[in-house]
Amino acid sequence: MKQIYRILILLCFAHSLSAQSIRKNYQEMTNYEKTALVNAFYELRNGPDLFNDLAVFHSQYFNFDNTIDPTRLDLHFNLPDEAEREIFLAWHRRQMFEMEQAVQNINPKISLAFWNTTNDQALNSALWDENFMGSFNTNWDLRRRLGHDGPLPTPSEVSVLYGISNFFQFSNEFERRNVHRGAHVWTGGAMPTPLSPRDPIFYFHHVYADFIWYNWEEIHHNSAYITTSMLRYDGTYVFNGQTLPLVNPNDITDTRSLGVFYGSDGLAKLNNYIVSNTYRPEEIFYYQYRIEVGNNFIIPEGANCRIESVNEIKLLPGFVADSGSKFVASIDVATTQQRPQNKVRAKNPYNYDENINTAIIWEEDNKDDTPIIIDSYPNPFSDKITIKLNKNTNCTVAVYNMMGGVIREEAFHNTNTIIINKLYGLSPGFYVISVVDADGKILLAKRVIKM
Ligand SMILES: [Cu+2]
């Protein structure tokens, strides 16, 4: 097979095309990137207002306890008992991507960035500078109360998450405890409410959550969902005259499928990726520190890719630019020198709605070790139902008909796999199964259908 490497190392000063992204800690952004991102956020609120649209959607589908309306889908807290509806990490990943695309439509040189909440906890952190995230508080009426209702997470709480090998268990612990919850309650104002996506800091927080998932997936390689579509990204939702595509959460468990990479501590590794120009006519990967490209990073014939750094780009074995592709690697000094003008930061307060701007009742961060359901199937069922738990447990399983009558009750001892057999005699229709542990705590209450 003949391969021709076309590599140009250029010095250049001005760009106008569009980007994919290398995301990083905001502390690794250049001044150019910081100002450009703030400008883009202000620009977005001039309409169509994606901040408000994402926030209102997020609040409308925030969470419905299955006792309120078991048929209604929602974004949060589906684990442990509704694993078949779980979408928390994937939905927020796609939400970050939607915001990043909107930002890049304004300025293709910039990406979203993250706030490492485990080591950046000072009230006077550069994060909250008037020139960075600070000005939004008054201009958009966010009513932050930094540090009031903390705490932020510790590094060891993140390590604990990396140590969990089961995906649903990881996701559940992540969502309910400090690593996710901390930034919401610590920031205050809109952030602990279902309208949290109104605050730009929400995106810095959820990009950090996405980075943690990205790292977890690099370790465990087993993120997987039961459902195959997601609210908003189900092929029917229209924003600004465009129907958003259907997204199977299993298709985005690797950020590369969205053209997204993460850099940290001065190094970004681009690998196992085929440039497709799916979202952008030219894919730009920008990171001001060292970029290493290789290990199956492929630019096929007809594809168009640019890699930019301020310091160093290293092409490693496994980097392929095919004949007929276009590839430019450039060391760009302009971005460090030119700070774009601050755009006018117009006041643009949200309508403050007491009903929605009420803090969520966040799950207590109790370190209990209650067993959780990691799978229950099939649903619909014909003759048996299997329920898998993350650990051995003593529990009681009951099957009810829709009138509340007990059809079956069975105790299980020291097992992590519960099989309820011989259900073929039941007439077709709806039933409810419950699993209650030895302390009387409900582990599962779920509506099932008999075929
Ligand atoms: Cu959320």
In a domain, 347, yes or no: no
Between the CA of 427 and the centroid of ligand 1 the distance, in Å, is 39
Handedness of CA 218, 224, 225, 231 (dihedral sign): positive
187 CA from centroid of ligand 1 (Å): 15
- CATH code, 139: 1.10.1280.10
CB 277 within 8 A of CB 253: no
Residues 185 and 47 occupy one common structural domain: yes
**Ligand 1 center–CA 10 separation, angstroms:** 42
SS3 312: strand
Nearest to 286 by CA among 104, 47, 59: 104
CA distance 141 to 351: 9
451 residues of the chain, pLDDT tens digit each: 333 333 333 333 333 345 589 999 999 999 999 999 999 999 999 989 999 999 999 988 887 655 556 667 888 888 887 888 899 999 999 999 999 999 999 988 899 999 999 999 999 999 999 999 999 999 999 999 999 888 999 999 999 999 999 999 999 999 999 999 999 999 999 999 989 999 999 999 999 999 999 999 999 999 999 999 999 999 999 999 999 999 999 999 999 999 999 999 999 999 999 999 888 888 999 999 999 999 999 999 999 999 999 999 999 999 999 999 999 999 976 665 567 777 778 899 998 776 666 767 665 544 456 677 777 788 888 889 998 887 888 999 999 887 778 889 999 998 889 999 888 888 888 888 888 888 877 777 778 888 8
Cα(25) to ligand 1 centroid in Å equals: 20
- The answer to the question of residue 26 being in a domain is yes
Residue 104 maps to a domain: yes
Distance 205 CA to ligand 1 centre (A): 10
Helices (H), 131-200: 135-139, 155-162, 167-176, 178-187
134 occurs within a structural domain = yes
* Overall domain count for the chain: 2
Is 289 a domain residue? no
Q: How far does the centroid of ligand 1 lie from the alpha carbon of residue 63, in Å?
A: 9
Q: What is the CATH number for 437?
A: 2.60.40.1220
- Centre of ligand 1 to C-alpha 175, Å, is 9
The reply to whether 301 falls in a domain is: no
Residue 285 CA, ligand 1 centroid: distance in Å? 27
Ligand 1: centre distance to CA 62 (Å)? 7
413: nearest Cα among 440, 428, 394, 427: 394
Q: Residue 313 Cα, ligand 1 centroid: separation in angstroms?
A: 36
258 Cα–ligand 1 center, Å: 20
Measured in angstroms, how far is the CA atom of residue 312 from the centroid of ligand 1?
Answer: 37
Q: Find the 193 Cα to ligand 1 centroid distance in Å.
A: 9
Is the residue at 270 inside a domain?
no
Domain boundary among 293, 313, 337: 337
C-alpha span between 218 and 412 (Å, rounded) = 36
Q: Which domain holds residue 170?
A: 21-258+333-337
The DSSP code for 191 is T
Which of 314, 337, 360 delimits the end of a domain? Answer: 337
* Count of alpha carbons within 13 angstroms of residue 223, beta-carbon side: 26
User: Of the residues 337, 358, 381, which one is the last residue of a structural domain?
Assistant: 337
231 in a structural domain: yes
Strand partners, 437: 395
